[in-house]
């Protein structure tokens, strides 16, 4: 029997039911985004869930990339153990101020997939965006 999970972003279908998905790639991508996008100690009942990636936006570019790559690797070792981590790469665009982080991993069924997350540098009164889907 295939795993069924709430589809993120949260939605209600036309029949008033919570949106669900059986697509394993989407389910795992949502889980990866949940871990990567949550700051440590942000969840009161699960203080060890998440990463310190949000703190990296205050670092210089090289230190931020190093910290993000370390945190992603640590997240897979500690919180996403059913997935096989393969690589993480990050590229910073000076023009837009967005750091694109690409994470490649294998699902439990050995299918290789990737998830991309965009982080924006906080400057002045620019609107900050956490993630690009």
pLDDT 10s digits, 46-95: 999 999 988 887 778 888 889 999 999 999 999 999 999 999 998 888 78
**Which of the listed CATH numbers 3.10.450.40, 3.40.50.10170, 2.40.10.120, 3.40.50.2300 matches domain 5-120?**
3.10.450.40
Angle at 59 between CA 57 and CA 64, to 5 degrees: 75
Backbone angles phi, psi at 14, to 5 degrees: -60, -20
Backbone angles phi, psi at 115, to 5 degrees: -130, 135
Q: Higher model confidence: residue 14 or residue 97?
A: 14
Residue 116 confidence (pLDDT)? 87
User: Residue 1, exposed/middle/buried by CB under 10 A (0-12, 13-18, 19+)?
Assistant: exposed
Residue 105 · residue 84 · CB < 8 Å = yes
Domain residue limits, the chain: 5-120
């Amino acid at each position: 029997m295939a795993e069924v999970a709430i589809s993120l972003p949260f939605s209600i279908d036309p029949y008033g039911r919570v949106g669900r998905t059986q697509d394993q790639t989407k389910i795992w991508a949502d889980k990866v985004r949940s871990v990567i996008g949550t700051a440590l100690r942000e969840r009161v009942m699960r203080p060890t869930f998440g990463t310190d990636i949000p703190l990296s936006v205050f670092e210089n570019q090289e230190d931020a990339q190093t910290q993000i790559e370390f945190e992603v690797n640590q997240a897979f070792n500690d919180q996403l153990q059913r997935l096989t981590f393969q690589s993480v790469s990050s590229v910073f665009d000076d023009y837009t101020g967005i750091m694109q982080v690409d994470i490649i991993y294998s699902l439990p069924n050995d299918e290789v997939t990737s998830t991309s997350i965009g982080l924006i540098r906080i400057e002045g009164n620019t609107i900050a965006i956490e993630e690009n889907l």
